[in-house]
Structure 1
Amino acid sequence: MPSPRPTTADPASAPAPSRRRWLALAAPVFALMIVGLDATILTVALPTLANELSATTTELQWFTDAYTLPFAGLLLPFGALGDRIGRRKVLLGGLLLFGVGSLMVMGVDSSEGLIISRVVMGAGAAAITPLALAIVPLMFPAAERGKAMAITTAGFALGVPLGPLAGGWLLDNYWWGSIFLINVPVVVLAIAGILLFVPETKAANAKRLDLIGAVLSITGVTAFVYAVIEIPNAGWNDPAVLLPGVGGIVLLITLVTWLRKATAPLVDLDFFRNKRFTWASIAVSNVMFILFGVLFVVPQFFQQVQGKDAFSTGLHLLPLILALVVAARLGGRIAERSGPKAVITVGMIMWTIGLLILAGVDTDTDFTTTGSALALMGAALGFTMPTTLDMILSSLPEEHVGAGSALANSMRQIGASIGVAVLGSTLNALYRNGVDPDVPAQLPAEAQDAIRDNVAAAAKAADKLPAPQGGTLLESAQDAFVSGMSAVALICAALAALTTILVIAFLPARDKQPAPPKTADAPTAA
């Protein structure tokens, strides 16, 4: 079957026939689901990778941040490129890149190799996310657009917590690389759906691509987030941190100055004049900071402290997943009656309560307490993520939906990257301080360093030591980890409480339709 014929964007063009556009919706939903899933599927694999690849805690952080870093840095250029040359083209390119990165793990036998493959996947995700979100409202008439966007954003939101569940099952039954190879058939299905059903769209009066803005965006975001990740390892004064940190800030300030003066900027900063766009973007960025921090520490707690296997860890995250599904559906109904502000406010309060419960978890806490905290956080995610994403997209004029959604998603991924960096480093520092006094002096220096690096190494060493000494070491390591996890939960709870206050104070209570653009961008006839 031939792909849809591209035609000139025309405001009067009718959307595709009903059956065809709902079939077409499956492609971006699949694409966004694997992006969300791959952002978190690694969480249950961290203890396995620490053993299989002899990875340090810093390398474990980089396994996550190697994905989110290019994701954040390339979102703006890819979103603007899609508006200019065609959203369907860039989306297909992103899916191909994502598939290639997933296949690269077949040749990986080191931490460095996995980090490289994750960079490639992150670059693909940067093209997939803004364009998949951009094409959906252009395929549907106004009466169906809300339902279509709810399904699309729920696809991404569902992929995030499904990652640990799918990853746990695969790790218990197959080679660790299978958690990435699972992406390949989904990528193939998404590409087939796009080629068969999704029409091409682009901005009606596309301007030239802002290459200067693109370079400043990529280098500035990448340098700044890299510095944040490396601060705990090298210290503030180390040139390896200071130079990219200061350089990244300077580049980002230069980017803002350039965007204000450029005749055809990479992204229009006037988006921030819309309070719905601004405060919904800030709220979802903070949610991503919290979510990725929680998913970095909780699976390790289940496996390294409470002795669960990978699949059991995924099952223990089911309260979060089930609560997310229920809350996402319920949140949409509440938003129709009471407005999205009420839903987001309730969600942020639930984040705060769930995180405070998590902060009180100890090494021998039963699952009733931990599961309750996860259920509250899952419901909070279901209330906050789909609702904020819908507010962001509905605030954008159609001709700039690619660049605008890329800007919001860039903020979101920066939040995720910094969340893993800051919270992972907090966990690492408190763990080291807690376990250090009980590290046996008679062990080789390499073994002592490994014990100070993660609980898995401490457990290995404890098995080889005499019973009293080994038991003391293992108990010290587990207590130190839980102390770090509690600190992470408290930091996240404070951020959730602050976000609640900001949402109440500044987020508009009711949606207002965005001002109509001078030239509309309609979907191409299929």
Structure 2
Amino acid sequence: MTTPAAPGTRVPEAVHRRRWAILGVLMLSLLIVVLDNSILNVAVKTISTPAPTGLGATQSELEWAINAYTLVFAGLLFSAGLLGDRLGRKKVLLGGLVAFGIGSALAAFSGSPAELIAFRAVMGLGAAFVMPATLAVLMNVFERDEQPKAIGIWAGGVGLAIAIGPITGGVLLDHFWWGSVFLINVPIVILAVGLMLWLVPDSRDPSPGRIDPVGVALSVIGLVLLVYGIIKGGQLADFTDVTVLATIGAGLAVLAAFVIFEKRSDHPSIDVSYFKNKVFSAAIAVIALVFFALMGVTFFAVFYTQSVRGYSPLETGLLMLPLAAAQLIFAPRARLAVDRFGNKATTTGGMLIIAAMLAAFATLDADTPIWILEVVFFLMGTGMAHIMTPTSVVIMQALPREKAGSASALSNTFRQVGGALGIAVLGSVLSTAYRTSIEDQLTQLPAAARHTAGESIEATLAAAARLGPEGRALVTPANDAFLHAMHVTALCGAGVALVGAAVVALFLPGRTAPQPAGSRADEDEPSYAGKNVPGQRRDSGQ
């Protein structure tokens, strides 16, 4: 999606000199997108409590508060990429940041779960214009030989956001109301916009493709129907229900129509021919699978630490610090493992670590020493770092450089869709397993309240609190039922991670021969908006 310049060109000197500062601004933009989700993971328990402490959101409403963001984000990535090519990526980044900030401010003052879901969708709209442009700009300000290092640092920024998010969320929830976890985004947005106006160059494609509104609409509708059907199946504890099957079937049919339409369109949102490249397809699939497994597990980990173990939101954030610290430490260094062992071995090893740690969740009980959970989190972060950096480099370099925008959009789309489906599917497994285990213990509740009380551990504990002293007998069964459901869900996640390990072991390349020094000059380079860039280097034939 980036039009190559003549062979032998290089990044303009004025841009090259400030490339690391530009990367810092891109990471700040990335920070708020990732930070918001990691903060929300800590806040879900608070939001699920009745007003005035929270919004009284149900399990499915909490899932939709997350999925509304991810589905809008994923559905609009392609059109956002096309607008970036047409209008300039810097302009699109700025517009996305402003929309994200407005959505955050509105979400902070939501008066109901429905309003929160709607404003989270607005935030997803803004994020759709931010995330893909960060990688596209990165690929256009770094020479090819520095791109793996820059992408590693970019991926490490995700670890930094994950580290800051839960702790920041915990501090805010300890001192302010739940809406502060969204309002914190606003000053970060203001800072990012100011730095971007100052430092980041604009770039665009002089011959961009047209926007594909039909394709975008089909992808969004299909995903919403599919995930809604899965969530509904978890709510009803019955995936054979006619409504559930009809909704899931309709979603799959619309997504099939999306693929057919994209194949025939002369201006598709997604060029399906990209997937003929097995390496590209394998890397994309692994990103989707690992986020499917991790997002679903992260969703229930918060309830384990807060509801079962009794930790506060701040303490929960601190407990998750090893997960983030490992990513921050190892993501920028993962390229060293790739240089020594190759993409296949490094990424397969990372996936096997993830699978083992997810399986380890199935051994956790109410009295497991907390240091064991910390080790599990750290090793999960280590595995994640050795997956994200290699696969991101493979995806961005598997396609020609002029298609960096498309590669970035596809990578982020599959990551977000994988995460959304992970929350929906594994959340439904958790809900179904919990209801099956607890329903025999709810006979003392009124018949009308039993279904709601069996939806989640928070719903059961809330019902127990309303019963007063008589409800105390429900606390231990609720904890036991949740632990059983968590074990089942964790093993499902581990199975998905093993599938991902098999995919990369079969299709990712092994070690590659080192590139000759100076080969970067032969790479196609970016086309910058504003051709008269001061300080253009002349040492490459320009």
Q: Which residue type is aligned with residue 509 of structure 2? A: P
1:49 is matched with 47
2:11 aligned residue: 14
What residue number does 2:492 align with? 491
Moved over 6 A (4+): 512-519
Whether 1:359 aligns to 2:359 is no
- 2:538 corresponds in structure 1 to none
- Aligned residue type for 1:350: I
Residue in 2 that maps onto 1:3: none
In the alignment of these two chains, the number of paired residues is: 517
Aligned position for 1:66: 68
Residue number in structure 2 paired with 1:378? 381
Q: Which moves more between the two structures, 141-150 or 122-131?
A: 141-150
Q: Please state if 1:477 is matched with 2:478.
A: yes
Distance 1:250 1:457 in 2: 35
Q: Which residue number corresponds to residue 21 of structure 2? A: 23
> How many angstroms does 1:42 deviate by?
1.1
Cα distance in 1 for partners of 2:474, 2:56 equals: 20
| CA separation of 1:390 and 1:431: change in aligned 2, threshold 3 A | same
CA separation in 2, counterparts of 1:430 and 1:236? 13
Matches of 1:488 and 1:516 in 2, distance apart?
A: 50
Asked if the contact 1:323–1:376 (Cα under 8 Å) also holds between the matched residues in 2, the reply is yes
* Structure 1 residue 520: Cα displacement: 5.5
Match of 1:98 among 90, 97, 100: 100
Does residue 347 (structure 1) correspond to residue 350 (structure 2)? The answer is yes
CA distance in 2, matches of 1:422, 1:107: 29
Q: Give the superposition deviation at 1:176.
A: 0.7
Contact map agreement 1:95 1:191 (CA 8 A) in 2: yes
Query: C-alpha distance in 2, partners of 1:236/1:451?
Result: 20
Distance 1:254 1:516 in 2: 42
The 2-side partners of 1:523 and 1:140 are apart by 13
Q: RMSD of the TM alignment (CA)?
A: 2.6
Task: Choose 59-68 or 482-491, whichever is displaced more.
Answer: 59-68
Residue 43 of structure 1: how far off its partner (Å):
1.3
Check conservation: 2:63, 2:424, Cα contact below 8 A: yes
* 1:319 corresponds to 2:317: no
Contact 2:155 2:332 in 1 (8 A): no
**SS of residue matched to 2:18:** helix
Q: Following superposition of structure 1 onto structure 2, how do residues 278-427 of structure 1 map, counting pairs within 5 Å?
A: 278-427=281-430
- Matched residues in 2 for 1:126 and 1:206: separation? 18
State the 1:304 CA deviation.
0.4
Which has the larger displacement, 269-278 or 156-165?
156-165
Unpaired runs of at least 5, structure 2: 535-542
CA distance in 1, matches of 2:199, 2:89: 14
Q: 1:438 to 1:210 in 2, by over 3 A?
A: closer
Within the alignment, does 1:500 sit opposite 2:498 as a pair? no
Query: 1:27-68 CA deviation, whole Å, 9 max, x = no partner?
Result: 211111211122222111111111121111111111111111
Instruction: Give the 3 Å change call, closer, same or farther, for CA 414–14 of structure 1 in structure 2.
Output: closer
The C-alpha deviation readout for 1:201-247, integer Å capped at 9, x for no partner, is 12243232233333333333333333333332355566654454333
Which residue matches 1:438? 441
The one of 113, 117, 139 equivalent to 2:141 is: 139
In structure 1, distance between residues paired with 2:252 and 2:462: 42
2:355–2:495 CA contact under 8 A, matched in 1: yes
Contact 2:10 2:521 in 1 (8 A): no
In the superposition, relative to structure 1, how do residues 10 and 361 fare at CA in structure 2: closer, same or farther (>3 Å)? same
Q: In structure 1, list runs of 5 or more residues that go unmatched.
A: 1-7
Question: Cα offset for 1:289?
Answer: 0.7
Change (3 A) 1:243 1:84: farther
User: Please, which of 520, 524, 527 is the counterpart of residue 522 of structure 1?
Assistant: 527
Q: State the distance in 1 between where 2:522 and 2:221 align.
A: 31
Does structure 1 residue 223 correspond to structure 2 residue 225?
yes
Task: Check whether the contact 1:153–1:390 (CA below 8 A) recurs between aligned residues.
Answer: no
Partner of 1:87: 89
CA contact (8 A) 1:65 1:417 kept: yes
CA 1:76–1:240: 2 relative to 1, 3 Å: farther
Q: Would the alpha carbon gap of residues 517 and 113 (structure 1) be closer, same or farther in structure 2, given more than 3 Å must change?
A: farther
Equivalent residues of 1:225, 1:414 under 8 A apart: no
Partner of residue 127, structure 1:
129
Percent sequence identity over matched residues?
Answer: 38
Q: Is the 8 A contact 2:5 2:524 kept in 1?
A: no
More off after superposition, 513-522 vs 182-191: 513-522
Structure 1's 237 and 439: CA in aligned 2 closer, same or farther, altered over 3 A? closer
Bigger Cα displacement from structure 2, 510-519 vs 244-253: 510-519
Checking the alignment, whether the CA contact within 8 Å between 1:13 and 1:523 is kept in structure 2 is no
Whether contact under 8 Å (2:308, 2:366) holds in the other structure is: yes
Letter in 1 for 2:82: A
Distance 1:520 1:230, change over 3 A: farther
- Structure 2 vs 1, CA of residues 453 and 208 (structure 1 numbering), >3 Å: closer, same or farther? closer
Q: Which amino acid aligns with 2:386?
A: F
**Residue by residue, what CA displacement relative to the aligned partner does 1:332-354 show, whole Å, maximum 9, x if unpaired?**
21112222222211111111111
Q: Using the alignment, how far apart are the partners of 2:528 and 2:144 within structure 1?
A: 13
> Per the alignment, in what secondary structure is the counterpart of residue 128 of structure 1?
helix
Counterpart AA for 1:333: L
Deviation of 1:272 (Å): 1.3
Listed one character per residue, the Cα deviations across residues 251-305 of structure 1 (whole Å, up to 9, x for unaligned) are 3222222222222322222221222211111111111111111110011101000
**For residues 242 and 352 of structure 1, do their structure 2 counterparts lie closer, same or farther at Cα, with a shift above 3 Å needed?**
closer
TM-score normalised per structure 1: 0.91
Could you tell me which residue of structure 1 aligns to residue 156 of structure 2? 154
SS at match of 1:41: helix
- The verdict on how the C-alpha distance between 1:146 and 1:388 changes in structure 2, with shifts beyond 3 A counting, is same
* 1:21/1:520 CA distance change after superposition, 3 Å: closer
For the 8 Å contact 2:41–2:166, the answer to whether it is kept is yes
Change in Cα spacing, 1:202 to 1:504, as seen in structure 2 (3 Å) is same
Which residue in the other structure is 1:206 paired with? 208
Question: Kindly tell me: are residues 240 and 87 of structure 1, through their superposed partners in 2, closer, same or farther at Cα, counting changes over 3 Å?
Answer: farther
Asked if structure 1 preserves the Cα contact closer than 8 Å seen for 2:34 and 2:161, the reply is: yes
Q: Is the 8 A contact 1:438 1:472 kept in 2?
A: no
- 8 A contact 2:75–2:216 mirrored in 1: no
Counterpart secondary structure, 1:265: coil
Contact preservation (8 Å) 1:451, 1:457: yes
The alpha carbon displacement at 1:393 in A equals: 1.2
| Change in 2 beyond 3 A, CA 1:516/1:206 | farther
Query: C-alpha displacement at 1:361, in angstroms?
Result: 0.7
Deviations 1:61-107 (A, max 9, x none): 11111111111211122122222332222222211111111010243
SS of the residue 1:523 aligns to: coil
- Decide which moves more: 80-89 or 369-378: 80-89
8 A contact 1:53–1:110 mirrored in 2:
yes
- Contact map agreement 1:204 1:521 (CA 8 A) in 2: no
